[in-house]
Amino acid sequence: MKFVDQARIQVVAGAGGKGCLSFRREAFVPKGGPDGGDGGKGGDVILRADPSLDTLLDCQCQQLYRARRGGHGQGNNRQGRAGEDLVIRVPPGALVFDEETGELLADLDLPGKDVVVACGGKGGRGNARFATPRNRAPRRAEEGQPGQERRIRLQLKIIADVGLVGMPNSGKSTLISQVSRARPKIADYPFTTKAPALGVVRLDDETEFVMADIPGLIQDAHKGAGMGDRFLRHVERTKVLLHLIDPSPRYDESPEARFSVVMAELDSYGAGLLDKPMIAVITKMDVSENIQPARKLQRQLQKKGIPVHTISAITGAGVKELLIHTTQMLQQAQERR
């Protein structure tokens, strides 16, 4: 399924029903009087976070949503039926903005959370409502009010506990595929990951967390280079970052330089990403030529006070220790919150 994390839709709530102009006419009931009922309220348009969804693809395909109008009032003081509300399902983590004003209407960060984005119109009053001692036969009824109409911008920030960041081909997709059931594309060329991937990591029956694999960053990503930094918003909600570094000497830049490039892009993006707890993860330790550069990088990062793990996602070496340390940092982050 195509991953879509931005969409614009137009929502139109239902109009209210008309009030009824009616008089009671029955045999043997003289002067029956007005009995026109009120119109029903129009349906609201509601956005609801549905955990079975993970993309805004549906909202991109259908961009106009209309709720049902209210029923018209009838004689014998019968009120029109209220219009049925229209519920639009979106993934948890969706941000809802008013397109015209830019106002944030809601952050649907919990499954089942919802927000009314367009209110249905009020039903018109029937002529029975206008009867007074001086006007016992009013010939007046109201039209229903129109429903609210709005342009809505949806932006998705996926909800995960741990975010994987790093340059292309640093081993992020391989790691998440080994520790969860996520199956991102893995290949030996840059930008094989073109959209964030989520996986549930389960250490034991009581310990699990959600991991997000973010497309790789390169220098000047914040200016649009490579895949750009648009996907970094998906790690804004994470509690811990795992920064993966490929120590291979076959690149033009040193591992230290590649580490610094990603850190600079996180800093340029802002949103407090550099303030999050971070573990540096040196990958691909099953390759012999990587051992010496990895040791050098590990020493430099540890001098800066950054926790470091060396792993091989292919053989599994060091992965369990990394996951245990990640779980401990998650618990500490939760306690601080």
pLDDT for 243 equals 94
pLDDT for 184 equals 56
Cβ contact 60:4 at 8 Å: yes
- Phi–psi pair at 308, nearest 5 degrees: -130, 140
Tokens of 85: 């509300």
- The DSSP-derived string for 253-289 is S-HHHHHHHHHHHHHHH-TTGGGS-EEEEE--TTSGG
Q: Which residues of the chain have pLDDT under 50?
A: 187, 189-191
pLDDT for 185 equals 54
pLDDT for 115 equals 96
- Give the HSE-up count for residue 17: Cα atoms under 13 Å, Cβ half-sphere: 24
CA distances from 55 to 213, 235, 264 (A): 15, 16, 29
pLDDT for 8 equals 95
For the chain, which domains are there? 1-156 (2.70.210.12), 162-336 (3.40.50.300)
C-alpha angle 43-45-47 in degrees, rounded to nearest 5: 145
* Helical ranges in the chain per DSSP H: 57-61, 172-179, 255-269, 291-303, 319-336
